Amino acid sequence: MKPRSLKPKSIRLKLALAVLFCAAATAMTAEVVDSASNGFTVRTTLSIKAAPDAVYRQIIHVGDWWDSAHTFSGDSHNLSIEEKPLGCWCEKLPKQGSVRHMEVVFLSPGEKIVMVGGLGPLQSMATTGTMTFQLSPEAGATKLTVTYTVGGYLLLWPVRLIPSWGSNLRG
């Protein structure tokens, strides 16, 4: 895997693709690790030509790489991730409303972030999901592995659920 250089737009695209492919399990580099009627695990790995701390910082600034079309508010800059255990991946809504998309359960800056929660249509189903961002240095770059594991009652599984996540992120 050839490392890519860190440019703000380029790293946003890489992060977007990593999460997109984990959430969507569609084509390209996503690997469906496991799939059953009660859940799935998808994983993607990217090499980004930047230090792990820089990649970590970009992950935390979720509003810079998430697609606004896939938010409740219509603006990805209403998204935020709090850097602490029990921190919220939240979205501000009009009239002082909000959405809790995921919750931080493990945080090691520059190394690993683990969040739990359901994205998109999973939020209203009897499911739970765990998304792990694992960062490790490699020859002048960072290896980013994003894994999303979901289990529970998947009402729309599999035909309608996976395609609905086709473009969550922007490049």
What's the pLDDT score for residue 132?
97
Of 51, 64, 68, 39, give the one whose Cα is nearest residue 147. Answer: 39
**Is residue 139 pLDDT above 60, yes or no?**
yes
Structural domains in the chain plus CATH codes: 4-152 (3.30.530)
Q: Please write the tens of the pLDDT for every residue from 8-48.
A: 555 555 555 555 444 443 334 568 888 888 888 989 999 99
**Is residue 167 pLDDT above 50, yes or no?**
no
In this structure, how many other beta carbons lie within 10 angstroms of the beta carbon of residue 116? 15
Q: Write down how long the chain is.
A: 171
**CA–CA gap between residue 42 and residue 33 (Å, rounded):** 5
**CA–CA gap between residue 163 and residue 63 (Å, rounded):** 23
Average pLDDT over residues 123-131: 90
Of 83, 89, 149, 91, give the one whose Cα is nearest residue 122. Answer: 149
What's the pLDDT score for residue 97?
96
Question: For 16, phi and psi rounded to 5 degrees?
Answer: -60, -45
Q: Please write the tens of the pLDDT for every residue from 40-87.
A: 898 999 999 999 999 999 999 999 988 898 899 999 999 999 999 999
pTM greater than the 0.85 cutoff: no
